[in-house]
Structure 1
Amino acid sequence: MTNRTAHGSPARSIFIDKQSPKAFRALVQVSEVVRATASEAGLDRTTVELINLRVSQINGCAYCLDVHTGAALRAGESPRRLGVLGAWRDTGLFSPAERAALALAEATADPVNATARTSAYEAAREVLSEDQISAAIWVAVTIDAFNRVSIMSEHPVPPPHDE
């Protein structure tokens, strides 16, 4: 099966989730365990979606940004906060726990930056439990993997339903 671009021409890539469905199902199972782990640790669904969105912003994954924007809105997140998520440090719209989770998400998406990693851990330890820190990092790791799948597969963002 040949993937098609938005213009109908053959895509340069393959949908690796379709090409290797057992591997993709395993990743989906990991994400389900991570979602349960986050819930058990006390990370609410909006915080999980903020992590998903921030990592997807950093990675430039349009498909995951589309999916998780909808999920965040369904979870009760506000369009205003989603609109400023990329500049979360410059606004008072996020709680200390959300800010800590976002710093961990960014440090996970860029693990080479040891200064950011150390700073993120220090901030997180002030407001999050070790279970919440672990869960936030697992959420970031998991969405990072999904970002790679979607980016390398060149998953298209579907057109709006009203068009």
Structure 2
Amino acid sequence: MTNERRVHLSRSAPPAYQALSAFSKTVGGISAEAGIDDRLKELVQIHTSQLNGCAYCVRVHVERAEKAGVTLDTIAQLPVWRDSGVFTERERAGLELAEAFAFIAEDGISDDVYDRVGGILSEQEYVALSWILVSINAFNRIAIAGRYAVPPRDDLAGEDRDAAAGRAW
């Protein structure tokens, strides 16, 4: 798929993208205060991006997850997390919440999911993860709408390199 005829939203309206980037940094602070570690934060963002079909954001968050010490085996288990033994109870709660947010138009956050996840995570952790999921869903939509390119891993250039290093968002 080519993106030559697509508007690149972050370049076309820098103030809006900068505001979203600032929002994302605020969310990062909230998640750190709530005790959400980088492993959990990256796992839910990778899984959300997979569910939304955002190859660009999958790339960015796999890079960040690896830097946070998440193994490729663990990342490979994300699509089958319910049947995998590599995730903690907190991570399973986060992944279930990620799915609810990705498909929020279908059922919202059902009482079952809310109660199950809320029985594992503190209110502060639930709030922080929810804001992380709001943020990644927004970034997914920007990248998908613009068909942001995903070059080979050894060819990260410009914005891809910045995003992978955490500078772009």
- Could you list the per-position Cα deviations for residues 87-141 of structure 1 after superposition, in whole angstroms to 9, with x for gaps in the alignment? 1011121111111111111101111343863222112111111010011111111
Aligned to 1:37: 30
Please, which of 148, 153, 157 is the counterpart of residue 155 of structure 1? 148
Describe how 1:1-163 pairs up with structure 2 within 5 A: 5=2, 11-114=4-107, 117-161=110-154
Q: Distance in 2 between matches of 1:45 and 1:51?
A: 10
- With over 3 angstroms needed to count, the CA separation of the structure-2 counterparts of 1:76 and 1:152, relative to structure 1, is same
Range with bigger deviation, 121-130 or 65-74: 121-130
Task: Provide TM-score, normalisation by structure 1.
Answer: 0.89
Please give the secondary structure, in 2, of the residue aligned with 1:63.
helix
Range with bigger deviation, 99-108 or 153-162: 153-162
- The aligned amino acid for 2:67 is R
Q: Distance in 2 between matches of 1:86 and 1:55?
A: 10
Quick one: percent identity of the two aligned structures? Answer: 38
Tell me the number of residue pairs that the alignment of Structure 1 and Structure 2 aligns.
156
- The aligned amino acid for 1:94 is F
- Could you list the per-position Cα deviations for residues 50-97 of structure 1 after superposition, in whole angstroms to 9, with x for gaps in the alignment? 111111011000000011000001011111110010110111211111
Gaps of 5+ in 1: none
Q: Distance in 2 between matches of 1:90 and 1:115?
A: 24
Q: Distance in 2 between matches of 1:127 and 1:151?
A: 32
Structure with higher Rg: it is 1
- With over 3 angstroms needed to count, the CA separation of the structure-2 counterparts of 1:20 and 1:112, relative to structure 1, is same
Give RMSD over aligned pairs. 1.9
